[in-house]
Chain A
C-alpha cells in the first residue's frame, strides 16, 4: 500500500523559503508513469495545484507560483520536495503531496499525504 507523508517546518518567516519533503513508502518514486504533485489549501478555502514532477525530471508549475517554486525528486531517499521562495502571509496553507496517475487514468490523484500546515509569520 502506497503512503505519502509530508514533513517540514510549520512556521516560516516572511521573505524566507518554505521547504517541505514528501516521503513515499510502498512504491518507488522512480516508478514509470506517475506524477509527484504538490497541492495546497488555504484556510477554509478550496484546493490549489502547485505543480508536479514526472520521474523523467520534467516539471510543470502553476504559472501563478512559477517564479517561486521548485519541485525535485531524491530517488535515493524515495522522497520529493517542494521549495517556495519569498513567502508571504498569503502562502499560509495546508500543503499536501500527492501521486497522480498516468495519462491512461486521466492523471487522477489517487494517493495523498495527510497534509501539513504551514504558517507564514514573523
Chain B
C-alpha cells in the first residue's frame, strides 16, 4: 500500500492568513493526488484533483502543487468557511489511501 503522510496534523490560523498543508507519499505517484475538505458531520468535498487542477465550483484561493512524492495544498487567504479538516488521497494505485488529515482551526 502507498503510505500517506500529512503535515501538520493541526494548525491554528487567522482569517486572511496564507495556509500551507503538506502531503508526502511513500512512493512516486506522478500527479495522482487529490485534496478534500471535510466539515464536521459532512461528507468530504473534492477541492483539487490531479495535484493541481481546481474542481469546478471551488474558490480560486485554493491551489495545489507537486508531483512524485511531495505535494502541497495552499489556501491563499483563509476565510471563515475554510475552517475544516483537509485530506490528501492518492489515486495512483489501489488500495486508494488517504492522509491522516490536517485540522485547520481558528486562532
Contacts and interface: CB of A to CB of B under 8 A. Distances in A.
Interface string B11-55: 000000000000000000001111010000011111001110101
A60 B49 CA distance: 20
B64 to A, nearest CB: 11
B87 A105 contact: no
B106 interface: no
The main secondary structure of chain B at its interface with chain A is: loop
Interface string A87-122: 000000000101011000111111011110000000
B80 interface: no
Interface string A39-65: 000000011110000000000111110
A112 B44 CA distance: 7
A113 B31 CA distance: 26
Contacts of A107: 32, 34, 49, 91, 96
Given A106-B32, A108-B55, A109-B34, A49 B49 contact: no
Given A46-B99, A46-B101, A106 B91 contact: yes
Interface residues of B, number: 27
Contacts of A63: 1, 95
Contacts of A115: 42-43
Contacts of A113: 43
A108 to B, nearest CB: 3
Given A46-B101, A47-B89, A101 B49 contact: yes
Given A47-B44, A115-B43, 5 more contacts: A47-B101, A49-B97, A62-B95, A107-B49, A112-B44
Interface of A: 46-49, 60-64, 96, 98, 100-101, 105-110, 112-115
